[in-house]
Chains A and B, each alone.
Chain A
Amino acid sequence: MKKPSLLFTFLILAACGTLAQSGGQLRFCLHSEPKTFNPVLMQDDASETIRYLTGGVLVRLNRQTQQLEPELATAWKIGDDGKTITFTLREHIRFSDGTPFSAADVVYTIEQLMDPALHSPTGDAFRSGEGKVQAEALSGNRVAIIFPAPISGLDKQFDQVAIMSARSPLKEMAVLGPFVVSENKAGAYLILKRNPNYWKHDANGRPLPYIDSVRLDIQQNRDIEMLRLTHGEVDFINSLDAEYFDKLASQNPAMVHDAGESLDSEFMWFNQSANSPLPAYKKAWFASTNFRRAVSGAINRSDLARIAFHGHARPAAGPVSPANKFWFDAKLQPHPFDQKAALELLAQEGFRFEGDVLHDRDGHAVEFSIITNSGNKYRERMATMIQQDLSGIGIRLNVVTLDFPSLLERMTRTFDYEACLLGLVNTDLDPNSVMNVWLSSSENHQWNPNQKTPATEWEAEIDRLMRAQASSLDPRQRKEYFDKVQEIAWQQEPFIYLVNKNALSAISPGVHNVHPVVLRPQVYWNIDEMSLTSEVARSH
């Protein structure tokens, strides 16, 4: 057999090199300045971006498969009691400054995370009960973390925990992730350089990341960010809204990516708080399941998605988006638009539809207001569309847009509102992250917060199921419990879920190996494998 020529081999290697071009600077924008570089104290979006790009974690949730994958830990085991997790760590790894990584660093990070004086937002997810969290180095590469009470979905929580060095003089600036902060020009930009000690290699043994550096420009103005993308000054926009997406699509269709339904939802609810100053007859409307279901059925969700979001949204079925592959209850479908069925439901409650106006059994014309935050054109559009939809069943809806502090004041303190239209930005897949929404005693149980005892049987049942899923360690059992919560929410409609927005992004064709997904960070979740074409790498 004839051996391949040297030239042929060179051409193959050159082709591979073009596909995964090493070097260059990737550029994108942050919408605010990071408030801290300390990974245990981060809670703003900009800081979390820095943590994602620089922090090394024990396990990583693959944003594409939504499965947990080993990173600094090669193996992990949760004890039968659900209180202990033991990690086996990767060996011969160094922080960016050369300090060796060991079990002592994990212990130090957990101590920092749970230090009550630091009030770590990331640490809140690990506070399971009375008592102290203990981390113990079993050997140089094994560490056990013991919690006072079981935590469901414990291993997934470590996706957010960037390991800090116990010994490095650089403290939190010594990192284990693909990049390290090299320059920070306050209010202007940050430069992250490739971590020379990053432990990952590609299948051919080449060290990752391929990109030399990342430049993060602080840019609040979305219009300028768009212009900079089209002029080639930045390489991608992680999250776009529907209007910007369509504008860009008309100019450069190859740049835009619609990854489908995201975890974010838009919904409305009626104020059912006993402390609200609403008249008794309105409280009775809003407490009626048939009234809520009738309003829900009279809203054309398909039109909301098609018109308000230019088709970049889908009608929502319930609290969990289909994008959440494991927790979504596939039995649930969005409520169909059926105004005749809505009027039948209302008739069961004694409402009468006379002369294009709906009256309750006492003769009150059905009229209520819906508040939403001003400046959000999508919500303003949705509210106006709902106004027309509800006029079809004789309900007069007054749309009121308020500045956000006034809205919060009414929602959380005075309870002086009738209905509210808002959205939820979901970053976590696990239902434990929404415990504070579903428990009737919670202040975020928006339709009727801070209940001493559940006001209705179905809320008591939701309380029971949410607590049961939180204390169970069997994922299938948890799923069963949470499916029941979703079904009760679908039947009772305390929140009328309207649409799930799509995850939209824009990426320059010069960036390779990008696979936008619905989970955050949508575009750069695989930053260590992303590469730039030689032209882009040179021009930057």
Chain B
Amino acid sequence: MKPARLIAIAILVLISAGCLLANLLAPAPYAHQFRDLTDAAPSHQHLLGTDDLGRDRFSRLLYGTRVSLLLAPAAALLASLLAGLIGGTAGFLGGRVERAVMAGTDLFLSLPWLFLLITVRALLPLNVSPVVSVMVTFALLGCLGWAGAARVICAGARSFSQSDFVLLARASGSSGFRLLWRHFLPNLKPVLFAQFWISVPVFILAEANLGILGLGVAEPLPSWGSMLRELESLSSLSAQPWQFAPLIVFVVVVTSFHLVLTRQELPA
């Protein structure tokens, strides 16, 4: 195993353990406002300082990582499975089925999602706890984020259906399901992985943007998305570089995930 991969695995284990043990590691409750210590610099008491309401940044980063690290991949997995199922089947069957499914996918992509999300927000009760709110948000992202990936997977599946190894499999008497399970899916795995890893950071940032529709992670629960929104005030960054911590963790985690992937999975 290459050292880079080992380091990446170690980092991911460390960060996962850190956020899972947030209850023990966090020096303060993530929602508690130390109102006499707003925008404070790092100290022994507050390792990453405090935010504009006086909340401990390190505690919020631990809990925010837990929320985003758990739910963004879950949403990406849901989206990738839907994309694999819909795109893979369409590419495998080909012909009219493929054309019909891809037309439906194009229609799905062209829908004005903003209005759909506003409608969803209107249908949801206002009195939902932050935890329910975050689950709903990522479930929505998972259900809505499959279409782009489905097109890519469909194109991959189509190219396989015309390849020599599928022709050989068909000639040797493989049935439709066996062909799909034994020959298509293993070969589609790199494409699915790539779509999954692309979706994770996209969903994390999408969650931050959904906040403007009242669908993001509700206060006071932290998430990477809500913490990254703080970086909007650019001019204060030079004075408070510790505000970059969520961004650094985000980049490190996404990079580590990519390094953990095998060489065969990456080219897709």
Task: Using CB atoms and an 8 Å cutoff, list the residues of chain A in contact with chain B.
Answer: 243, 247, 303, 306-307, 367-369, 371, 374-375, 380-381, 383-385, 387-388, 398-403, 405-406, 409, 416-418
A374 to B117, CA, bound (A): 14
Contact call B211/A374, Cβ cutoff below 8 A: yes
Known contacts A303-B35, A387-B219, A403-B118: does B127 contact A368 (CB below 8 Å)? Answer: yes
Known contacts A243-B233, A381-B53: does B33 contact A398 (CB below 8 Å)? Answer: no
- Candidate in A374, A375, A398, A403 with the most chain B CB atoms within 10 angstroms: A398
Contact call B213/A403, Cβ cutoff below 8 A: yes
Distance of A378 from chain B, by nearest CB (Å):
11
Q: Quick one: closest B residue to A384, CB to CB?
A: B219
Distance of B107 from chain A, by nearest CB (Å):
25
Residues in B with CB closer than 8 Å to A383 are: 219
Contact call A388/B33, Cβ cutoff below 8 A: yes
Residues in A with CB closer than 8 Å to B148 are: none
A307 to B32, CA, bound (A): 14
A401 to B126, CA, bound (A): 10
Known contacts A380-B219, A381-B52, A388-B31: does B127 contact A403 (CB below 8 Å)? Answer: no
Interface of B is mostly: loop
A247 to B129, CA, bound (A): 35
Distance of A404 from chain B, by nearest CB (Å):
10
Interface residues of B in 169-186 (CB under 8 A from A): none
Q: Quick one: closest A residue to B38, CB to CB?
A: A307
Known contacts A247-B235, A367-B127: does B53 contact A402 (CB below 8 Å)? Answer: no
B218 within 8 A of A: yes
Residues in A with CB closer than 8 Å to B32 are: 388
B43 within 8 A of A: no
B122 within 8 A of A: yes
Known contacts A368-B127, A387-B219: does B53 contact A307 (CB below 8 Å)? Answer: yes
- Complex partner residue of A369 from B53, B126, B211, CB under 8 angstroms: B126
Q: What bracket does the count of chain B residues touching chain A fall in? A: 20 to 34
A411 to B53, CA, bound (A): 28
Residues in B with CB closer than 8 Å to A371 are: 126, 214
A130 to B121, CA, bound (A): 45
Distance of B31 from chain A, by nearest CB (Å):
7
Residues in B with CB closer than 8 Å to A402 are: 121, 213-214
Contact call B121/A406, Cβ cutoff below 8 A: yes
A315 to B211, CA, bound (A): 28
Distance of B208 from chain A, by nearest CB (Å):
12
B212 within 8 A of A: yes
Distance of A357 from chain B, by nearest CB (Å):
14
Q: What are 27 A-B contacts defined by CB distance under 8 Å?
A: A247-B236, A303-B35, A307-B35, A307-B38, A371-B126, A374-B211, A374-B213, A383-B219, A384-B219, A385-B53, A388-B31, A388-B220, A398-B126, A398-B127, A398-B130, A399-B219, A401-B212, A401-B214, A403-B212, A405-B118, A406-B118, A406-B122, A406-B213, A409-B122, A416-B126, A417-B126, A418-B126
A122 to B218, CA, bound (A): 42
Distance of A217 from chain B, by nearest CB (Å):
21
Distance of A363 from chain B, by nearest CB (Å):
17
B128 within 8 A of A: yes
Distance of B264 from chain A, by nearest CB (Å):
44
Distance of B211 from chain A, by nearest CB (Å):
6
Interface residues of B in 206-238 (CB under 8 A from A): 211-214, 218-220, 233, 235-236
Distance of A420 from chain B, by nearest CB (Å):
11
Contact call A399/B213, Cβ cutoff below 8 A: no
Contact call A400/B212, Cβ cutoff below 8 A: no
Contact call A387/B220, Cβ cutoff below 8 A: yes
Contact call A418/B127, Cβ cutoff below 8 A: yes
Q: Quick one: closest B residue to A371, CB to CB?
A: B126
Known contacts A384-B219, A398-B127, A417-B126: does B52 contact A307 (CB below 8 Å)? Answer: yes
A400 to B32, CA, bound (A): 19
Residues in A with CB closer than 8 Å to B42 are: none
- Candidate in A303, A383, A400, A402 with the most chain B CB atoms within 10 angstroms: A400
B54 within 8 A of A: yes
Contact call B218/A375, Cβ cutoff below 8 A: no
Q: Quick one: closest A residue to B52, CB to CB?
A: A381
Residues in B with CB closer than 8 Å to A399 are: 218-219
Contact call A403/B214, Cβ cutoff below 8 A: yes
Q: Quick one: closest A residue to B119, CB to CB?
A: A406
Known contacts A247-B236, A384-B219; 11 further A-B pairs (Cβ under 8 A): A247-B235, A307-B54, A369-B126, A374-B212, A381-B52, A381-B53, A387-B220, A388-B220, A398-B129, A400-B214, A401-B212
Q: Quick one: closest A residue to B127, CB to CB?
A: A369
Q: Quick one: closest A residue to B232, CB to CB?
A: A377
Contact call B218/A400, Cβ cutoff below 8 A: yes
Residues in B with CB closer than 8 Å to A387 are: 219-220
Distance of A486 from chain B, by nearest CB (Å):
30
Distance of A401 from chain B, by nearest CB (Å):
5
Residues in B with CB closer than 8 Å to A417 are: 126
A327 to B128, CA, bound (A): 42
Residues in A with CB closer than 8 Å to B121 are: 402, 406
Q: Quick one: closest A residue to B239, CB to CB?
A: A250
A174 to B56, CA, bound (A): 60
